[in-house]
Amino acid sequence: MPFTTIFIAHVPDADPERDTALLETDLYKLFSVLVRDTDQAIEVCRRLVAEEALDSVVLCPGNTHADVARITAALDGAVSVSSPGGTTRVGGSPARPWSAPAGSVPAPARKKRREAAVGRSRAAASLE
C-alpha cells in the first residue's frame, strides 16, 4: 500500500472537483488539490481519509496554526497535518509578507509589509 499525501493550497476561485492532480508510483501517491477555504479543505481531507487511506496532509504556507489545528481535529488526529510556513503573530496577521495567499491580504497591507521587509534588509546590509 503506498504512502498517501495531499498538498492543499487555498485559491479564491478553486473547485476541488476540477482542480485536482495526482502523482503516483507503486510506493507513493501525492494528491494536489486547490480549495477555496479551510472548510473545503476539511471536506476534501475527510473524503481522502475514507477513500484513499490518507497518511499525511501538507498545507500551503498561507495557512495558520489555527487552520492546522482545525484540520487535525476534524480528522481526529489520525493523519499528520503540517504547514511549512504558516507562522502567524498574535491576532492572526502573517509573520512574513509571503505567508498568506495574495487574495487574503489587502493590497495596501501587502505594500506596507513589502516596504517594511525592504527596510529590514537594508538595515541588515548596513551592519555588514
pLDDT per residue over 45-68, tens digit each?
Answer: 999 999 999 999 999 988 888 888
Confidence tier at 97 by pLDDT (50, 70, 90): very low
- Domain coverage including residue 76: 3-92
Confidence tier at 120 by pLDDT (50, 70, 90): low
CA-nearest of 23, 31, 8 to 101 is: 8
pLDDT at 11: 92
Does 116 reside within a domain? no
Largest interatomic CA distance in the chain: 55
Does 7 reside within a domain? yes
Does 61 reside within a domain? yes
What is the rounded distance in angstroms from the CA atom of residue 72 to the CA atom of residue 103? 24
Does 128 reside within a domain? no
pLDDT at 123: 56
Percent of the chain with pLDDT over 90: 49
Does 79 reside within a domain? yes
Per-residue pLDDT tens digits for 9-33 = 999 999 999 999 999 999 999 999 9
Does 118 reside within a domain? no
Number of structural domains, the chain?
1
Say what the pTM is: 0.65
What is the rounded distance in angstroms from the CA atom of residue 79 to the CA atom of residue 28? 16
Through-space distance between the first and last CA atoms of the chain, rounded to whole angstroms: 53
Does 45 reside within a domain? yes
